[in-house]
Homo-oligomer: A and B are copies of this chain.
Amino acid sequence: MTTRPPADVGMPAADIDTPALVVDLDAYERNLDRMAASLAGTPVRLRGHAKTHKCPVVALHQIARGAVGSCCQKVGEAEAMVYGGVRNVLVSNEVVGAPKIARLMGLARQAEVAVCVDDPGNVRDLDQAARAFGVRLPVLVEIDVGMGRCGVAPGEPALALARHVAAQPGLRFAGLQAYHGRAQHINEVDKRRAAIEAAIADVRLTVDLLKRHGLPCETVSGAGTGSYRWEAASGVYTEVQAGSYCFMDVEYSLVEGFPREFETSLFVLATVMSRAAPDRAVVDAGLKALSVDKGMPRVRGRADVEYQRASDEHGVLRLDGAGRELRLGDRVWLVPGHCDPTINLHDWYVAVRGDRVEALWPITARGAIR
């Protein structure tokens, strides 16, 4: 059921079958290096988010540059990372239900694995399973710092839950998860910074309160590509969970004061498959090759070609000026609107250096939704 790769190693990039998910290795490696450089010499470590890349190859590249390990949203992603060689994984999310909790504990016998909680009943379920598996699981209390999704309120509610975690013999209270995902894409840089500063204040208040009650936070984890510099400089976060920085996407490129140190390194390569009208071309990459939940892809290097609408298997391009010279069989390099769900549609990264295919990386956590 796995699709065959769209290329062979050594092949010219011009021969890649389409649609294909292509990584520009030089740009990708510069992104990895820049993140590593920006955290070097600080006490803050990267924990790269595997929900973005879904691929242990990328996780190991991050770890080789100093990352402490990976974080994941699903147990299935954590399994793919551990069995791909990652030794330290945080599930930055709640894990609910006996089958998933059992898999989490099994995995915790094979690698360093931690999880997040926001509910006392879930804490009891985790404790019971941890003791059955003979593990002592590190647990972070998730606090809601403005995301309006999972997590207890900062301050006293976090303290109450941390105490509850610390009281379970199968669990070990390890710190806080505090991620403000919505802030990453606040357009105005001042408002984005203010949202993150408010989150940092909530974290600091909670860390101090826990410390006063004998519950020091060895780990405070959170942050994304759009804000990681602020969390890293906060003095309270110990880890940043950036994911998109490896690849980038249109959504990030539209944010004001966006972290310019990172370049677009991820593309969906597509082929023109219909030229039935002078101002219109149709490419072979639609909703099943590109996620449009955050808007349409952009056509690299072509102001005269606009990706106008996506249907399931087609993308309709509007052509202006020299764009009208696009011919059947021509290739276009599309920058995905939103990298994470786009990657999850593909089974392979085609890694290209210059004009040559250098590697094929299997996206082993593709579809790992459980």
Chain A 173-192 against B: per-residue CB contact (8 Å), 1 yes, 0 no? 00000000100000000000
Query: Does A47 sit within 8 A of B, measured CB to CB?
Result: no
Chain A 107-125 against B: per-residue CB contact (8 Å), 1 yes, 0 no? 0000000000011011000
A243 to chain B, nearest CB (A): 10
Select A149's contact among B17, B153, B316, B369, beta carbons within 8 Å: B316
A149, B314: Cβ atoms closer than 8 Å: yes
Q: How far is A328 from B99 in the complex, measured between Cα atoms in Å?
A: 15
A140 to chain B, nearest CB (A): 14
A158 to chain B, nearest CB (A): 11
B97, A17: Cβ atoms closer than 8 Å: yes
Known: A96-B284, A96-B328, A273-B150. A369 touches B3 (CB 8 A): yes
B347, A274: Cβ atoms closer than 8 Å: no
B51, A312: Cβ atoms closer than 8 Å: yes
Task: Give the residues from 58 to 102 in chain A that come closer than 8 angstroms, CB to CB, to chain B.
Answer: 73-74, 76, 93-97, 99-100
The interface residues of chain B lying within 8 Å CB-to-CB of A100 are 17
The chain A residues found within 8 Å of chain B, CB to CB, are 1-3, 6, 17-20, 51, 73-74, 76, 93-97, 99-100, 118-119, 121-122, 144, 148-153, 181, 271-277, 280, 282, 284-285, 287-289, 291-293, 310-314, 316, 328-329, 340-341, 344-347, 362-364, 366-370
Which 8 A-B residue pairings sit nearest by Cβ, starting from the closest? A150-B274, A73-B313, A96-B273, A1-B2, A287-B341, A94-B273, A289-B369, A3-B367
Pairs A–B under 8 Å by Cβ, sample size 16: A1-B363, A3-B368, A6-B370, A18-B370, A93-B313, A94-B274, A97-B271, A144-B276, A148-B280, A149-B282, A150-B276, A153-B276, A287-B293, A292-B293, A344-B345, A345-B369
